[in-house]
Chains A and B, each alone.
Chain A
Amino acid sequence: MNEVFLIAGMAVVTMATRIPLLMLLSRRKLPPAIESALKYVPPAVLSAIILPIVFMPGGELELSPGNASLVASLVAVIVAWRTRNLLLTIILGMAALLIWRAASVF
């Protein structure tokens, strides 16, 4: 495998997804309707990234207390909802995951 070719190719196609629309759409004045049409992309993307990892840790739907990711995510959702504190959400979510995993060994 040619590593230089691989990395150059990956770099070029990645830039092709990131740069052209940024240049094109920042130059042109779009109608407000189209501008606001992408308003819900950030929450949608986050949700679409998170849910499969949480509900399908092994590639299959796992709706049981044995799914530590699911339990820890519920903890993280509650912490985020009550405190709106990102760092606290990360710390308590990770702690919940490790504790639940350790507890389910017994």
Chain B
Amino acid sequence: MPKRKPSRLAGPNPRAQFWAGARATIPLLVGAFPFGLIYGALAVTSGLSPWAAAAMSAFVFAGSAQFISVGLIAAGTPTLIIILTTFVVNARHALYSATLAPYLRKVSSRWLVPLGFWLTDESFVVAAKQFEENPNQKNKESYLLGSEIAMYLNWQMVTWIGIAAGQAIPDPQGWGLDFALVVTFIGMLIPMIKGRPTLAAVLVAGAAALLGNSLPNQSGLLLAALLGNAAGVLTERAWPSPRLRGAKRRSNPQRGTT
């Protein structure tokens, strides 16, 4: 693949935004790699046929729900219960789409359906960060799409590799590969903490997630995210930051175009 220009030179046209979104997602592709491998390997050993394991990545495309469903399949859970659990586990995506929707005002439904279908934790975090820092950026939908397609193609590829070769790896989780996503998320989270409100959101969400960890089907995660967000909003109201530190210094790819 030819070398692309750095993102700060990317213009506002859809193609440049698409590549900027894909590029910003590269570290997350690396983070998702071991997960796809492990998912593929576990899926075929749980009793799912190889084609079904691949089809799940293609049509459901939701890492944690896929993992949980494989666990449930191995435990002999009825299909309807697995589907219901998938809904609860994925409920957090509703929060993501509600957060991104205001940035996609002028986008047609023809775009919104695929943008929604491909929306994952990773693309959400990449896009939400980008749009919050650059609210006037043009062609946001192309940026989001670039991130999503990069995640999607990567996920399909690593799933196939996992299905094909995963059974040859004994105890894939024992290697600590499942930890790759945690360090990836830490690398994304820490630079986001720029003031009291974000810090409050992070601390409250984290504490709530620990307390709610025993709640079924990751409903604790959803609750923790909502509580953390509320803590951020309330802190912002109680102590409005005198000036937004970092917001001025940060390079703005849209400088001079808006």
Contacts and interface: CB of A to CB of B under 8 A. Distances in A.
Interface string B188-219: 11111100011001111111111001000000
Contact of B98 (A21, A48, A85): A21
Given A22-B116, A26-B104, 4 more contacts: A14-B62, A50-B182, A94-B179, A101-B176
Q: Is the interface of A mostly helix, strand, loop or mixed?
A: helix
B224 to A, nearest CB: 4
Interface of A: 1-3, 5-11, 13-26, 30, 35-56, 59, 61, 68-69, 72-73, 76-77, 79-81, 84-87, 89-90, 93-94, 97-98, 101
B197 to A, nearest CB: 6
Given A19-B113, A51-B209, A41 B128 contact: yes
Contacts of B52: 3, 6-7
Nearest to A100: B176
A49 B201 CA distance: 13
Nearest to B207: A51
A21 B116 CA distance: 9
B228 interface: yes
Contact of A97 (B31, B104, B121, B176): B176
Interface in B95-153: 95-102, 104-105, 107, 109, 112-113, 115-117, 119, 121, 124-125, 128-129, 132
